[in-house]
């Protein structure tokens, strides 16, 4: 099972710093450091810290051919070498001005994967969306188990899809904090970063999709 770290560079998404990831990876003897962020801000420091051990991924949005907001779902692209890093920066900057539909047709040095949460399968299953993705069979799907109520439903949906279309399945664990006891600090941080006008959230009613679990941590990963 591959740990997928996210750091404070993805604002409101993690309480880990790169120094935490560096310490944890050393203690747990993790050789390849997979970091998935929602922006490219942390890439330079991540590369300086981990150098050739770094596997940096960008989480971004893709859409149906009609570019409708309702069809938005998430993908992850990992950079392969220097050329991949340049393509990843281009993908990131272009996403501010255009909506991606099939970015893999225009890049050569990126490895695309389908995340477990917020993918087109997840959205179609849980929100009755109609996300249509023309996905090549060489793009793997990531699967997780974080004790959320719909995890098993998404897992079964992914396995069924991959059986029909011959996509690979990879076991991963998203890491946003170090230990299970850190979940309260993590939720507090998310509440501070995700305040919305006209809505009141607290720890009794956090309104945090996908985060009603204390399993997004390296302590949980070690149990596997």
How do residues 53-100 score in pLDDT, each as one tens digit? 999 999 999 999 999 999 999 999 999 999 999 999 999 999 999 999
Instruction: Give mean pLDDT, residues 141-161.
Output: 96
Which residue bears the tokens 């922006």? 39
> What number of other Cβ atoms are within 10 A of residue 98's Cβ?
9
Question: In this predicted model, what pLDDT tens digit does every residue of 188-212 receive, in sequence order?
Answer: 888 887 655 445 555 544 455 555 7
Instruction: Give mean pLDDT, residues 152-164.
Output: 97
User: Across the chain, where does the E strand assignment appear?
Assistant: 2-5, 33-37, 54-62, 73-79, 110-113, 141-143, 169-175
Note every long-range contact of 23-30, with CB atoms under 8 Å and residues 24 or more positions apart, other chains counting.
24/178, 24/218, 25/50, 25/53, 28/218, 28/222, 30/3
Kindly give, in sequence order, each residue whose CB lies less than 8 Å from that of residue 126, ignoring residues fewer than 6 positions away: 150, 153, 154
User: Across 63-122, where does the E strand assignment appear?
Assistant: 73-79, 110-113
What are 184's two structure tokens?
């309260």
pLDDT attached to residue 187: 86
DSSP SS3 for 57:
strand
């Amino acid at each position: 099972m591959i740990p997928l770290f996210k750091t404070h560079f993805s604002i409101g998404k993690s309480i880990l710093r790169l120094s935490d990831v560096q310490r944890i990876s050393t203690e747990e003897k993790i050789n390849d450091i997979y970091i998935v962020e929602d922006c490219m801000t942390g890439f330079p420091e991540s590369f300086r810290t981990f150098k050739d051990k770094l596997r940096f991924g960008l989480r971004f949005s893709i859409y149906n051919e009609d570019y409708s907001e309702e069809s938005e779902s998430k993908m992850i692209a990992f950079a392969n070498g220097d050329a991949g890093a340049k393509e990843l920066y281009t993908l990131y900057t272009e996403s501010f001005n255009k909506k991606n539909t099939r970015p893999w047709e225009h890049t050569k040095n990126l490895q695309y994967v389908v995340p477990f949460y917020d993918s087109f399968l997840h959205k179609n299953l849980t929100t009755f969306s109609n996300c249509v993705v023309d996905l090549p069979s060489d793009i793997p799907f990531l699967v997780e188990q974080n004790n959320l109520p719909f995890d098993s439903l998404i897992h079964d949906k992914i396995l069924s899809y991959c059986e029909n279309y011959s996509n690979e399945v990879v076991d991963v664990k998203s890491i946003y904090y170090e230990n299970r006891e850190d979940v309260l600090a993590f939720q507090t941080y998310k509440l501070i970063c995700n305040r919305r006008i006209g809505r009141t959230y607290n720890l009794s009613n956090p309104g945090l999709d996908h985060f009603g679990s204390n399993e997004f941590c390296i302590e949980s990963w070690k149990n596997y």
